[in-house]
């Protein structure tokens, strides 16, 4: 028999009770976390959102409550009426461990089936089970704490944005395609058969329209949808802090984001200071082989192409040779060196060369190709110290406009840093990357494509290069785009935009869109640009990733209430799913067999 809640009201949260609450009469409500039956005394740990409190049922003092408590099982929902007393022995593991509650009355408000896994801090349940029963998983303290952190971070961001004069403005979810470079999720229109909405890949066009509309400063914490290929830490729907500013310089945007991030970090107990470091894209690739360098450790790359000149043919070297000094790795065994070479080759390296540095000098099989002097010179260039291993990498495939050897060496650098434990976990290295390439080479399309989205502004001196039809010149054009990076993770990107219709149209043309495609896809936007568009720019940060980093979590799924798996499935709701024939008929959709991927 279940009891009724009636008019009973909760007075306290379990986890908040302290010694100062002793002698208070309280009403607590929550779930039975654990129960221990010692005969005349029965204890339960009662759980609510705030944490746990120990409840004591004493048969001699309150027989009826004790009898009722004997029926309790894990996850039953109860109301406890009782008095707070100080414990004789404090439980240091519980925030409320100074006190316990002597129950005078117990109401059982609901029973619970035995859960598929025990709701406890350390769980052995697989991620699949946790996601299938996410509502039970979220009862655990860790997931709960992360959602609480997410709430506080987002609230603080909203406060900061408001204080800086931004309006939060919603933009449509049912819209048309935005070119962010991913596939769209399409939504069929019943009212207009054969027509589709696209879920927004980002509010990019709308936020630019809001600038044309004179809103001056817009932001939104907004869901975006991208049907991308499955990859470890991707979510098909994710949340952005999206913003746009009229009449900004790059510094205006950076200042806003620095303020936001400093405050968001503070919420998580992390002290960082603005302004953040800045680095040009080219320099980032040269020094770190990455457009999102992790600055928490050194091991910078050095171009030693010239030093390898004499052996280019013998060693079949194409492109550049990039080297670094790995501290302490001179002690690597034969096996470790082989593994290093294997890994680098797995990343696309053609040649991987190593040299050990000891107090006596530098030794390497390379000596016979390069000579002792050149080898010494390489050691000096990479600033190798005794105990270091010099690693040099060459690459096979050369994509126009990129340095494959540098990109591979950059990944080798990251792997070595992990292996050699060079990454200090408590450091927070923010970095702005600027002056990205405007276009990049797409190997499947064999054409230049926008490196970011096609609304990205062009560095003023480079605009004239658009007149030159050669791919090489186009690949050398710099954009007004920028990325924010934290500890080697890209948090988001943005740009100062193109605000002149004529230039925007030329970009679309350069990207190979015909007059008709331009009108059809972007006509409304190109029109809007002709009605007095202010210079504007903005950025979007991936909030799931930001919160995951602040929470010290590797996976974004841990900071999303109901995440999807890496296969883009919601295991709990079992989405995506098939739909009734009626629904398809109404939409005029006929399915044809699709090959399983």
Q: Report how far residue 525's alpha carbon sits from residue 518's, in angstroms, rounded to the nearest whole number.
A: 10
Question: Shortest CA distance to 235 belongs to which of 560, 553, 547?
Answer: 560
Subset of 361-390 contacting ligand ASP (CB under 6 A) = none
| Distance, CA of 2 to CA of 72 (rounded, Å) | 11
CB of 202 to ligand ASP, least distance (A): 3
**CA pair distance 171, 151, nearest whole angstrom:** 22
Residue 149 or 241 having the CB closest to ligand ASP: 241
Residue pair 84/101 in contact (Cβ under 8 Å)? The answer is yes
- What is the rounded radius of gyration, in angstroms, for the C-alpha atoms of the chain? 30
Least distance (Å) between residue 189 CB and ligand ASP: 25
Does 30 participate in binding ligand ASP (rule CB under 6 A)? no
Which residue number, 204 or 246, has a Cβ lying nearer to ligand ASP?
204
Site stretch for ligand ASP (CB under 6 A), options 55-63, 148-156, 412-420, 492-500:
492-500
In the bound state with ligand ASP, the residue whose beta carbon lies nearer, of 119 and 560, is: 560
Contact 263, 160 (CB under 8 A): yes
* Rounded CA separation 210/541 (Å): 19
In the complex, what is the shortest distance from the CB of residue 539 to ligand ASP, in angstroms, rounded to a whole number? 5
**Among the listed residues 495, 504, 510, 533, the single contact to ligand ASP using CB under 6 A:** 495
CA nearest to 46, candidates 13, 92, 19: 13
In this chain, which stretch among 6-14, 41-49, 536-544, 565-573 interacts with ligand ASP, using CB under 6 A?
Answer: 536-544
Check the CA dihedral 568-570-571-576 and report its sign: negative
CB of 240 to ligand ASP, least distance (A): 6
CB of 279 vs ligand ASP, minimal distance in Å: 19
Does position 493 interact with ligand ASP (CB under 6 A)? The reply is: yes
Structure tokens at 289: 């082989």
Between 393 and 451, whose beta carbon lies closer to ligand ASP? 451
The pairs formed by 4-13 with CB atoms below 8 angstroms and a separation of 24 or more are: 4/107, 4/109, 5/79, 5/107, 5/109, 8/79, 8/81, 8/107, 10/79, 13/48, 13/49, 13/50, 13/51
Distance CA 73, CA 113 (A): 9
**Strands 217-225 vs 167-168: parallel, antiparallel or unpaired:** parallel
> Hey, is 157 helix, strand or coil?
helix
Least distance (Å) from ligand ASP to the CB of residue 293?
19
Q: Which is nearer to ligand ASP, 82 or 454 (CB)?
A: 454
- Give the nearer residue to ligand ASP in terms of CB position, either 241 or 391: 241
Closer CB to ligand ASP, 327 or 494, in the complex: 494
Is position 411 an interface residue for ligand ASP (rule: CB under 6 A)? Answer: no
φ and ψ at residue 475, rounded to 5 degrees: -70, -15
Going edge to edge, which strands form the sheet with 167-168?
167-168, 217-225, 237-246, 536-542, 489-496, 481-486, 430-434, 277-280
Shortest Å, Cβ 453 to ligand ASP: 6
Contact criterion met (CB below 8 Å) for 251 and 234: no
Binder among 245, 438, 539, 556 for ligand ASP (CB under 6 A): 539
Do residues 85 and 70 touch, judged by C-beta distance below 8 A? no
For ligand ASP, the closer of residues 322 and 495 by Cβ is 495
Shortest distance, position 403 Cβ to ligand ASP, whole Å = 24
Which residues within the stretch 149-168 sit at the binding site for ligand ASP (CB under 6 A)? Answer: none
Q: How many CA atoms lie within 13 A of 590 on its CB side?
A: 0
Beta bridge partners of 103: 82
Q: Which CB, 295 or 540, lies closer to ligand ASP?
A: 540
Give the H/E segment covering residue 542: strand 536-542
Kindly identify the residues of this chain, within the stretch 194-223, that bind ligand ASP according to CB under 6 A.
202, 204
Question: Which range in 22-30, 213-221, 503-511, 538-546 contacts ligand ASP by CB under 6 A?
Answer: 538-546
- Choices 15-23, 379-387, 427-435, 493-501 (CB under 6 A): range interacting with ligand ASP: 493-501
Stretch that binds ligand ASP, among 90-98, 489-497, 523-531, 577-585 (CB under 6 A): 489-497
Judge contact between 137 and 130, C-beta under 8 A. Answer: yes
Taking the complex as a whole, how short is the minimal distance between the CB of residue 264 and ligand ASP, in angstroms?
Answer: 18
Among 256, 538, 543, 544, binds ligand ASP (CB under 6 A): 538
Q: Is 542 in the site for ligand ASP (CB under 6 A)?
A: no
Q: Kindly state whether residue 544 participates in binding ligand ASP, applying the rule CB under 6 A.
A: no
Min separation Cβ 483 and ligand ASP, Å: 9
Q: How many Å from the N-terminal Cα to the C-terminal Cα in the chain? A: 52
Window of 148-156, 368-376, 419-427, 490-498 that interacts with ligand ASP by CB under 6 A: 490-498
User: x/- binding map, residues 425-464, to ligand ASP, per CB under 6 A?
Assistant: ----------------------------x-----------
Say how far apart CA 160 and CA 162 lie, in whole Å.
5
CB of 291 to ligand ASP, least distance (A): 14
Applying CB under 6 A, does 540 fall inside the site for ligand ASP?
A: yes
Q: Residues touching ligand ASP: how many (CB under 6 A)?
A: 10
Dist CA 445 CA 275 (whole Å): 39
Least separation in angstroms between residue 201's CB and ligand ASP is: 7
Let me know: does 399 contact 246? Beta carbons within 8 Å.
Answer: no
- Contacting ligand ASP within 176-195 (CB under 6 A): 180
Binding to ligand ASP by residue 494, rule CB under 6 A? yes
Between 171 and 322, CB nearer to ligand ASP: 171
Which DSSP state fits 76?
-
Q: Which residues bind ligand ASP (CB under 6 A)?
A: 180, 202, 204, 453, 493-495, 538-540
């Amino acid at each position: 028999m279940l009891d009724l809640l009636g008019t009973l009201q909760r007075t306290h949260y379990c986890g908040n009770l302290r010694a100062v609450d002793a002698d208070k009469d309280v009403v607590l409500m929550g779930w039975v976390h654990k129960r221990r039956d010692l005969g005349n005394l029965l204890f339960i740990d009662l759980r609510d959102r705030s944490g746990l409190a120990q409840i004591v049922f004493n048969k001699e003092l309150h027989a009826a409550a004790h009898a009722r408590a004997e029926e309790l099982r894990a996850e039953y929902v109860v109301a406890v009426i009782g008095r707070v007393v100080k414990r004789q022995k404090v439980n240091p593991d519980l925030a409320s461990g100074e006190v316990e509650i002597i129950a005078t009355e117990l109401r059982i408000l609901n029973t619970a089936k035995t859960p598929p896994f025990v709701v406890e801090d350390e769980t052995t349940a697989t991620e699949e089970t946790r996601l299938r029963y996410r509502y039970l998983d979220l009862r655990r303290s860790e997931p709960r704490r992360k959602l609480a952190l997410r709430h506080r971070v987002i609230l603080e961001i909203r406060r900061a944005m408001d204080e800086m004069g931004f309006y939060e403005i919603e933009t449509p979810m049912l819209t048309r395609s935005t070119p962010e470079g991913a596939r769209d999720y399409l939504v069929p229109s019943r009212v207009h058969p054969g027509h589709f909405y696209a879920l927004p890949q980002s509010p990019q066009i709308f936020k630019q329209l809001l600038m044309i509309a004179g809103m001056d400063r817009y932001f939104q914490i907004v869901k975006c949808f991208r049907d991308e290929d499955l990859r470890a830490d991707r979510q098909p729907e994710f949340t952005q802090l999206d913003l746009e500013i009229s009449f900004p310089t790059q510094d205006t945007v950076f200042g806003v984001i620095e303020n936001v991030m400093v405050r968001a970090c503070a919420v998580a107990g992390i002290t960082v200071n603005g302004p953040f470091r800045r680095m040009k894209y080219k320099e980032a690739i040269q020094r770190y082989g990455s457009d999102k360098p992790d600055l928490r450790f050194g091991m910078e790359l050095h171009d030693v192409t010239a030093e390898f000149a004499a052996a280019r043919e013998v060693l079949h070297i194409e492109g550049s040779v990039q080297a670094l000094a790995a501290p302490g790795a001179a002690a690597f065994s034969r096996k470790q060196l082989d593994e290093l070479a294997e890994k680098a080759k797995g990343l696309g390296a053609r040649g991987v060369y190593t040299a050990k540095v000891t107090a006596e000098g530098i030794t390497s099989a390379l000596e016979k190709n390069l000579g002792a002097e050149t080898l010494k010179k390489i050691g000096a260039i990479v600033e190798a110290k005794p105990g270091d291993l010099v690693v040099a990498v060459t690459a096979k495939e050369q994509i126009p406009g990129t340095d494959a050897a540098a990109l591979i060496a950059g990944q080798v650098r990251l792997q070595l840093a992990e292996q050699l434990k060079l990454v200090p976990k408590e450091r927070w290295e923010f970095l702005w990357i600027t002056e990205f390439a405007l276009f990049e080479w797409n190997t499947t399309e064999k054409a230049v494509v926008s490196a970011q989205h096609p609304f990205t502004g062009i560095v003023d001196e480079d605009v004239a290069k658009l007149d030159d039809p050669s791919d090489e010149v186009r690949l050398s054009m710099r954009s007004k785009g920028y990325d924010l990076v934290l500890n080697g993770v890209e948090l988001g990107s943005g740009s100062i935009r193109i605000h002149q219709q004529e230039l925007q149209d030329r970009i679309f043309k350069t990207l190979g869109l015909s007059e008709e495609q331009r009108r059809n896809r972007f006509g409304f936007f190109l029109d809007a640009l002709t009605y007095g568009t202010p210079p504007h720019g903005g950025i979007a940060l991936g909030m799931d990733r930001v919160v995951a980093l602040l929470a010290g979590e590797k996976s974004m799924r841990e900071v999303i209430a109901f995440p999807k798996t890496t296969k883009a499935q919601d295991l709990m709701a079992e989405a995506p799913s098939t739909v009734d024939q009626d629904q398809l008929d109404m939409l005029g959709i006929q399915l044809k067999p699709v090959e399983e991927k």
